[in-house]
Amino acid sequence: MSQPSNLHERIDAITEEITPHLIEIRRQLHANPELGFEEYETSALVMQELTRLNIAHRSGFGKTGVAASIGQGNGKTIGIRGDMDALPIQESASPEYKSRNPGKMHACGHDAHTAIALGVSEVLARLSDMLPGRALMVFQPAEEGLGGARAMLEDGLFEWIKPDIMLGYHNWPLIEGGTIGYHPKTAFASTDPFDITITGQSGHGAHPHLAVDPIVAAGNLVSSLQTIVAREIAPLDAAVVTVGSIQGGSARNQIPDSVKLEGTTRSQNPTVREAVKAAIERVCAGIAVTHRVTCEPTFLAGVPPVVNDPDILLSVLDTARGILGDDKVVELPQGSMGSEDYAEYSALVPSAHLRIGSRLKDRSTMLHRSDFDLDEACIPTAVKAIAAAAIDLMKD
């Protein structure tokens, strides 16, 4: 059994005091969502709060990203990342804080993530005299497939302050508010988005022998790609190959010049990741020969898997149990094949990633749905667990 400590009581009290303000901030962000690299008002609000709290901070990392430094201790530096961007989705539910920006919505809860990072900042700032180390707070833009983490790193985030350890978190509607979930090893999958253009020779639909048909080639390619996971990857290793978009042709009686496919891959370890990419290249080469077309995949910037460091995760869970109660920390049965660009940090420094329970009490929804909303109990829960875990990790 973990015992409540004096420090935990103080974190608890500060968090309870500031929670109404954090919920206000979350609702303000929810009503005013901004897409990746356009989080101007969001980062202005973040900086206004950091200024109010007297916390040293810098902007200009990844266009709209902000980073803050808290504490002067000689112990470890703990990086804590919250993402800020919304999605191009029209909100269909009608909470009082419904999105005022047509076609834009916080459908992944990054509004709450920003509020949580501000809450952790305030707790740590108010305890700054007794911090054994330092915190690097990372308010990141453009998590939704646009490379915000990479952009912050390329703009020198870790040259400003290099953390010894990173902590990440995401609200998780599959578990109830007030709880923390975790995956013991791989928290998120790697992803490698790909484009494939198949080029043949256009012609009349009545004279296929005088054309080179990229549509038939595309049909075979989609089927053949599905054999990679089914027939080449060991059944107990996880992998996904999805073709999500296929575009070609404009008339029923014409064979078009080309067909464009877009897809994504997922895996949970580097060996499988490379095997899937190599297999896609080989299958494309085979389709090219078989159908007399050109067919080459282009892989766009992907991200590696998010793998928890076992010792850091153990420490974080121990602290979380201490401050929230043993029954509030739950192991999740399986890793997710979703991806997170938090992987960019966790590839550079040892890290742990937590799921913050956010299931609504009165209806069910899920991340990226147009009716998404979350149990705001996730905000104080995450603030307490992450602030306390960071302080424990700062001790050498």
Site for Zn ion, rule CB under 5 A: 108
Question: Nearer Cβ to Zn ion, position 199 or 351?
Answer: 351
Q: Phi and psi for 161 in degrees, rounded to 5?
A: -140, 120
Q: How far is the CB of 89 from Zn ion (least distance, A)?
A: 12
Tokens at 329, concatenated: 């920390």
Question: Nearer Cβ to Zn ion, position 46 or 107?
Answer: 107
| CA–CA distances in Å: residue 175 to residues 2, 81, 325, 366 | 22, 21, 16, 11
Q: How far is the CB of 185 from Zn ion (least distance, A)?
A: 20
Q: How far is the CB of 170 from Zn ion (least distance, A)?
A: 6
Judging by DSSP bridges, how do beta strands 294-299 and 190-199 pair with one another?
Answer: antiparallel
Question: Nearer Cβ to Zn ion, position 143 or 164?
Answer: 143
Residue nearest to Zn ion (CB): 108
Calpha distance 128→215 (Å, rounded): 63
Q: Phi and psi for 230 in degrees, rounded to 5?
A: -70, -35
Tell me if 243 sits within 8 A of 225, measured CB to CB: yes
Q: Phi and psi for 149 in degrees, rounded to 5?
A: -65, -45
Tell me if 35 sits within 8 A of 359, measured CB to CB: no
Calpha distance 200→338 (Å, rounded): 34
The distance in angstroms from the start CA to the end CA of the chain is 23
Question: Nearer Cβ to Zn ion, position 77 or 336?
Answer: 336
Question: Nearer Cβ to Zn ion, position 67 or 356?
Answer: 356
Tell me if 390 sits within 8 A of 167, measured CB to CB: yes
Q: How far is the CB of 386 from Zn ion (least distance, A)?
A: 16
Tell me if 111 sits within 8 A of 26, measured CB to CB: yes
Q: How far is the CB of 43 from Zn ion (least distance, A)?
A: 17
Q: 256 burial class (0-12, 13-18, 19+ CB within 10 angstroms)?
A: buried
Q: How far is the CB of 367 from Zn ion (least distance, A)?
A: 6
Residue 335: CA count within 13 A, CB half-sphere: 24
Question: Nearer Cβ to Zn ion, position 108 or 284?
Answer: 108
Q: How far is the CB of 335 from Zn ion (least distance, A)?
A: 16
Question: Nearer Cβ to Zn ion, position 133 or 148?
Answer: 148
Question: Nearer Cβ to Zn ion, position 131 or 374?
Answer: 374
Q: How far is the CB of 76 from Zn ion (least distance, A)?
A: 27
